[in-house]
Amino acid sequence: MSKNLLPDWPAELVEDMKVNEYSGVVGSVLVSETDDLRVWHLHLPAGKRCNFHRHVLNYFWTCHAHGKARGYFEDGTIRDVVHFPGDTRHFEFPEGTHMLHSVENVGDTDLLFTTVEFKKSANPPLPVPDSVRLTEAV
């Protein structure tokens, strides 16, 4: 994690970044996983923020709704983005690189994303707890 203490950030944001510095939970729920990929859904209601998480695998996300998000990055960068249905971005991480960030819904509509991580990337996948895996109803 960056040594920058991020003095302009609220203490709870900085603490969340420290606690989740190596979290591989990049969505709300892991809906599918194979030897090759992980498929995540991220649901962010208006006014909510997901925990910080670390991306180490090549991946892409697609947004399914209109909305506005604010990204917080470990170097102190804060970036606002307007999303629309079909909005898609691709990311690649060479060996030893990563992105640590959190996303906040600063709009007035729910944000919905699908993220697909490619497990056969330059970096090994981070572990994810069973608690974020989709389970079938009994």
Please, are residues 115 and 26 in contact by the beta-carbon 8 Å criterion?
Answer: yes
How far apart are alpha carbons 2 and 72 in whole angstroms?
Answer: 13
Chunked in runs of 10, what are the mean pLDDT values of the chain (138 residues)?
Answer: 63 96 98 98 98 98 98 95 98 98 98 98 97 79
DSSP codes, 25-40: --SSEEEEE-SSEEEE
Rounded Cα distance, 31 and 66, in Å:
22
d(CA 114, CA 6): 30
Span 97-109, pLDDT tens digits = 999 999 999 999 9
**CB neighbour class for 65 (10 Å; exposed up to 12, middle 13-18, buried from 19):** middle
The pTM assigned to this predicted structure is 0.92
Domains of the chain: 11-22+29-121 (2.60.120.10)
